[in-house]
Amino acid sequence: MPTPFQTEIYHDCTTCKLRPFRHFCNLQMDQVEALQLVKKTLVFPPDAVVFNEGDVPEGVFILCSGRVKLFSATQHGKIFILKIARPGELLGLNAAIMGRPYLVSAETVEPCQINFVPRDAFLHYIGQFNEASMHVIEQLADNYYAAQREIQSLGLAQSARQKLARLLVDWSHATEQTRGEIWLRFYLTHEEIAQMIGTSRETVTRLMNELTRKKLLRVDGSALAITNLAGLEALARF
């Protein structure tokens, strides 16, 4: 069913056309039917809060479509974006399983469909189905690996240029190459990119212009193309 945000919404998981492409939801039909009984479909506009840092987790959020930024903020209002979550990911998973407050806030970047499962129902569900629990373990392991990479990047990168190049290379892994170019949908502003790599908006703008002049990137409106992945990887290397 379409929404005012031009996003197709699937209320029934058993007939969802996206399910085979969503890691957690790509389950045997009996497990999908059981999930359908305990989840609630939510639709969020852009810039909507999904949950806040410090909140006690009420459940797990399954990101069906759209993207969500996960970020932390200091008492003085400085924001650090840790990750852009993609469709198929479980949001708030670590906090919900451990029963501890969220360490980050989650906010939509674009229109999103998110399926919510209450904590008790989710814990019962993954205890009932081995395949679903394995998918959860895989995401927890992926979360841990991503956190290690982030620490490595922040600790070992020598410059904002290197951090930006590494971020763009990581984004390139989630898209396809077309005629020698890798096109990225440019969801984030320069300010938000700066919040991801711990620098200023002005620095990001200057570096983007520099990478464009060096023909490593090409910008077309709101779209961004990586035109020389090997060159970008060389800049990103520690």
| pLDDT value, residue 97 | 94
| pLDDT value, residue 186 | 62
Residues in the chain: 238
Residue 188, both tokens: 């984030």
Any idea which of 31-45, 151-165, 217-231 has the lowest mean pLDDT?
151-165
| pLDDT value, residue 16 | 92
- For 170-190, what is the mean pLDDT? 76
| pLDDT value, residue 114 | 97
Q: Are residues 35 and 69 in the same domain?
A: yes
Q: Are residues 47 and 104 in the same domain?
A: yes
CATH number at residue 196: 1.10.10.10
Number of C-beta neighbours around residue 24 at 10 A: 21
Of 86, 121, 155, which closes a domain?
A: 155
SS3 of 93-129: the string is: HHHHHHCCCCCCEEEECCCEEEEEEEHHHHHHHHHHC
Question: Nearest 5 degrees, angle CA 194-CA 200-CA 202?
Answer: 105
| DSSP 8-class letter at 21 | G
Number of C-beta neighbours around residue 46 at 10 A: 14
Compute CA distances 98 → 115, 127, 158, whole Å.
20, 15, 35
Q: Are residues 43 and 114 in the same domain?
A: yes
Per DSSP, what are the bridge partners of residue 115?
A: 41, 62
SS3 label, residue 49: strand
* Domain span holding position 172: 158-236
Number of C-beta neighbours around residue 21 at 10 A: 11
* Structural domains of the chain, count: 2
Any idea which of 171-175, 183-187, 234-238 has the lowest mean pLDDT?
183-187
- What percent of the chain is modeled with pLDDT above 90? 59
Average pLDDT, the chain: 88
| pLDDT value, residue 66 | 92
Among 80, 100, 90, CA closest to 24: 90
- What percent of the chain is modeled with pLDDT above 70? 91
| pLDDT value, residue 224 | 87
| pLDDT value, residue 178 | 64
Any idea which of 2-6, 38-42, 162-166, 190-194 has the lowest mean pLDDT?
2-6
Q: Are residues 26 and 118 in the same domain?
A: yes
What are 144-166's pLDDT values in tens digits?
A: 887 777 777 666 667 889 889 98
| pLDDT value, residue 212 | 93
| pLDDT value, residue 151 | 72
Compute CA 152 distance to the chain's CA centroid, rounded to the nearest angstrom: 19
Compute CA distances 26 → 98, 117, 122, 151, whole Å.
24, 16, 16, 31
* Amino acid, res. 15: T
